[in-house]
Amino acid sequence: MGAGIVGVNVGLALLKKGFEVTILDRGEPGRGTSFGNAGGIAVSECAPIAMPGTLMNVPGWLMDPYGPLSIRWAYLPKMMPWLLRFLAASRKPRVEQITVEIAAILNRVWEDYEPVIAEAGLGDAVFIKEGALAVYRSEKSRRAADYSIDLRRRNGIKIRDVTKDEIKDLEPGLAPIFPCGVIEEDWGRVLDPFKIVTGLYKHFLDRGGKFQTADVTDFVYRDGKPRAVMTASGDQIIFDTLVVACGAWSKTLAKRLGNGVPLDTERGYNTTVPYRDAKLSRSVISADDSIILTPMEMGIRVGGAVELGGLVAAPNYDRAKALFAKGREVLPKLNSEGGIEWMGFRPSMPDSKPVISASPKHDNVFFSFGHGHLGLTMGATTGRLIADLANGDSAPLNMTPYRIDRF
């Protein structure tokens, strides 16, 4: 269930193990959160979102409606249990442990993605492996990142400091306001996230996979086991084995399968503007602004940040505009004309780790969601891990940290 970057990768990996696979989705494949993300194969981002110091920063962020973290106040009571777990995860010993567990997935990403991309015939033209440049507005803010950078380095991530002059050589179009930065060496980017999902989806169909439109609302049990999905139109679709990969919408489905899970959404915004005068040759992260600028096939995409507001509230595109304004401080020649604004629902667990798990209740159910800021990055690795679990093969990682019942 779910034809986003995660579900399509899972489908492909299951086909390779010899399963007959049908992907169900209520909409067109790739039109969910996987459609418009920042396109980063962000293998250097193994530190969780909740870090030591987050608790101190939250009040200031929340007072700034266009800061890196904002909240729809009406949603706060619903979000509270998630937020408390999020803050609990920001304690240093937890952060150290979580980083090891996220890095265990990220350190496999290229090894798992490259064959999948090559087999699907997508290749270098859409999937580029190159470093990203993170820039800081002051030496002080670079020093504030010391812990995160050291933590990531200790977990095998290659991060190299660069000077103001090097930044100018690397990206001459950036405003001369950044005294220092770092290159995150193993980063990659895709030229269009939607084309990656649809390219892999086409390959899935070519290899004999099937697709069925279905808005899944519930499950039909026989002899205590889920045996079919029930759709909004009242149809039943029978399965032997089920994988739930419905991104931010997986929570109620998991609950109906017997597992409550603290999944919520970190909404994110961006604007994509066609190429004009502004030039960018790699992904640039402006650390103080919590934004990323990515050169893509259709233009430059500018966005990021987090809005806590659930799955129902309408988008507030003023946030996209505010992020774009910050983007223009970074890359002054950016022009908003013809820009397309977008909002997506990151499927987020409070400890920033995905759920990649067998069901503790039913031996024919698997869960694959909650990839937060890293669903594109972790797509192929998640696919192969779920296929290993479903096929009863030993996975190349200890899977305990990603279990659905870890809370």
Give me the residues that bind ligand FAD (CB under 6 A), please. Answer: 1-7, 24-27, 31-34, 37-40, 42, 214-216, 245-247, 249, 268, 270, 303, 344, 346-347, 369, 371-377
Smallest distance from ligand FAD to CB 176, Å:
26
Please state at what angle helix 109-119 crosses helix 375-391, rounded to 10 degrees. Answer: 90
Question: What minimum distance in Å lies between the beta carbon of 14 and ligand FAD?
Answer: 15
Q: Taking the complex as a whole, how short is the minimal distance between the CB of residue 191 and ligand FAD, in angstroms?
A: 13
Q: Smaller CB distance to ligand FAD: residue 256 or 406?
A: 256
Amino acid at 51: M
Give the residue from 373, 106, 357 showing the smallest Cα distance to 265: 373
Smallest distance from ligand FAD to CB 56, Å: 25
Between residues 217 and 336, which has the closer beta carbon with respect to ligand FAD? 217
d(CA 239, CA 208): 17
d(CA 182, CA 185): 9
Query: Residue 54 or residue 381: which is nearer to ligand FAD going by CB?
Result: 381
We find the least distance from the C-beta atom of residue 340 to ligand FAD, in angstroms, to be 13
Which of these, 189, 59, 203, lies nearest to 133 by C-alpha position? Answer: 189
User: How far is residue 311 from each of residues 249, 251, 329, measured CA to CA in Å?
Assistant: 8, 11, 31
Q: Report how far apart, in Å, the C-alpha atoms of 161 and of each of 149, 165, 174 are.
A: 10, 12, 17
d(CA 287, CA 310): 25
Nearer to ligand FAD (CB atom), residue 180 or residue 254: 254
Residue 39 vs 181, nearer CB to ligand FAD: 39
Return the number of the residue (155 or 250) whose C-beta is nearest ligand FAD: 250
* Spatial separation of the C-alpha atoms in residues 258 and 281, rounded to whole Å: 47
Tell me the longest C-alpha to C-alpha distance in the chain. Answer: 68
- The whole-angstrom separation of Cα 50 and Cα 89 is 6
Q: Which is nearer to ligand FAD, 13 or 374 (CB)?
A: 374
**In whole angstroms, how close is the CB of 334 to ligand FAD at the nearest point?**
17
Minimum CB separation of residue 147 from ligand FAD in Å reads 23
